[in-house]
Structure 1
Amino acid sequence: MKIIFMGTPDFAVPSLEALIEKFGVQYVFTQPDRPKGRGNKVTMSPVKEVALKNNIPVLQPIKLKNNSEMIELIKEYKPDFIIVVAFGQILPKDILDIPKYGCINLHASLLPKYRGAAPINWCIINGEVESGNTTMLMDIGLDTGDMLLKQTITLDDKITAGELHDILSNNGAKLLIESIEGLVNKTITPEKQQDSLSNYAPMLNKNLAEINWNKSSKEIHNLIRGLNPRPVTYTYYKGITMKIYESEVVDKNSKLEPGTIIAVSKSGIEVTTKDKVLLIKKIQFPNSKPLKVSEYLNGNDIETNVKLGKEF
Structure 2
Amino acid sequence: MPKLRLVFMGTPDFAVPSLRALVEAGHEVACVYSQPPRPAGRGQQVQKSPVHRFAEEHGIPVRTPKSLRNAEAQAEFADLKADAAVVAAYGLILPQPILDAPRLGCLNVHGSLLPRWRGAAPIQRSLLAGDAETGITIMQMDIGLDTGAMLLKDSVPITGATTASTLHDDLAAMGARLIVEALDGLAAGRLTAVPQPDDGVTYAAKLTREDGRLDWTRDAAYVERQVRALTPWPGCWFDIKGERIKVLKAEPAPEARRATPGTLLDDRLTIACADGAVRLTLVQRPGKAPVDGAAFLRGFALPVGTVLENAACSAGN
TM-score range for the pair, normalised by the shorter chain length: over 0.9
Q: Return the offset for 1:241.
A: 1.2
Match of 2:21 in 1: 18
Given candidates 177, 182, 203, the residue that maps to 1:179 is 182
Say whether residues 1:305 and 2:305 are aligned partners: yes
Asked if structure 2 preserves the Cα contact closer than 8 Å seen for 1:14 and 1:169, the reply is: yes
CA distance in 1, matches of 2:216, 2:263: 9
Match of 1:101 in 2: 104
What's the CA shift string for 1:160-187, capped at 9, x where partnerless?
1111111111111001000000101111
Say whether residues 1:243 and 2:246 are aligned partners: yes
Match of 2:280 in 1: 280
Match of 2:36 in 1: 32
Range moving further from structure 2, 100-109 or 158-167: 158-167
Asked if structure 2 preserves the Cα contact closer than 8 Å seen for 1:253 and 1:275, the reply is: no
Match of 2:62 in 1: 58
Q: Which amino acid aligns with 1:93?
A: Q
CA distance in 2, matches of 1:134, 1:151: 7
Q: Which amino acid aligns with 1:57?
A: P
Match of 2:292 in 1: 292
Q: How does 1:153-164 map to 2 (within 5 A)?
A: 153-164=156-167
Q: Which amino acid aligns with 2:57?
A: K
Match of 2:131 in 1: 128
Match of 1:79 in 2: 82
CA distance in 2, matches of 1:250, 1:124: 19
Match of 1:263 in 2: 266
Asked if structure 2 preserves the Cα contact closer than 8 Å seen for 1:92 and 1:140, the reply is: yes
Q: Return the offset for 1:293.
A: 2.8
Q: Return the offset for 1:27.
A: 0.2
Q: Return the offset for 1:255.
A: 4.1
What's the CA shift string for 1:210-235, capped at 9, x where partnerless?
11111110111111111011111111
What's the CA shift string for 1:228-275, capped at 9, x where partnerless?
11111111233321111211112235342110111123xxx2111111
Asked if structure 1 preserves the Cα contact closer than 8 Å seen for 2:211 and 2:234, the reply is: no
Match of 2:48 in 1: 44
Match of 1:210 in 2: 213
Question: Which stretches in structure 2 are left out of the alignment for 5+ residues?
Answer: none
Q: Return the offset for 1:289.
A: 2.8
CA distance in 1, matches of 2:280, 2:148: 41
Corresponding residue pairs, total: 308
TM-score normalised to the size of structure 2? 0.92
Q: Return the offset for 1:296.
A: 4.2
Q: Return the offset for 1:298.
A: 7.1
Asked if structure 1 preserves the Cα contact closer than 8 Å seen for 2:14 and 2:169, the reply is: yes
CA distance in 1, matches of 2:289, 2:273: 26
Q: Return the offset for 1:300.
A: 5.7
Q: Return the offset for 1:301.
A: 5.7
Q: Which amino acid aligns with 1:134?
A: T
Q: Percent identity?
A: 38
Range moving further from structure 2, 53-62 or 290-299: 290-299
Asked if structure 1 preserves the Cα contact closer than 8 Å seen for 2:267 and 2:294, the reply is: no
What's the CA shift string for 1:143-162, capped at 9, x where partnerless?
00000101101111121111
CA distance in 1, matches of 2:291, 2:172: 27
Q: Return the offset for 1:294.
A: 5.2
Given candidates 214, 226, 230, the residue that maps to 1:227 is 230
CA distance in 1, matches of 2:291, 2:136: 32
Instruction: Give the SS at the match of 1:220.
Output: helix
Asked if structure 2 preserves the Cα contact closer than 8 Å seen for 1:130 and 1:154, the reply is: yes
Asked if structure 2 preserves the Cα contact closer than 8 Å seen for 1:5 and 1:25, the reply is: yes
Asked if structure 2 preserves the Cα contact closer than 8 Å seen for 1:114 and 1:198, the reply is: yes
Q: Return the offset for 1:302.
A: 5.0
Q: Which amino acid aligns with 1:224?
A: V
Instruction: Give the SS at the match of 2:97.
Output: helix
Asked if structure 2 preserves the Cα contact closer than 8 Å seen for 1:237 and 1:307, the reply is: no
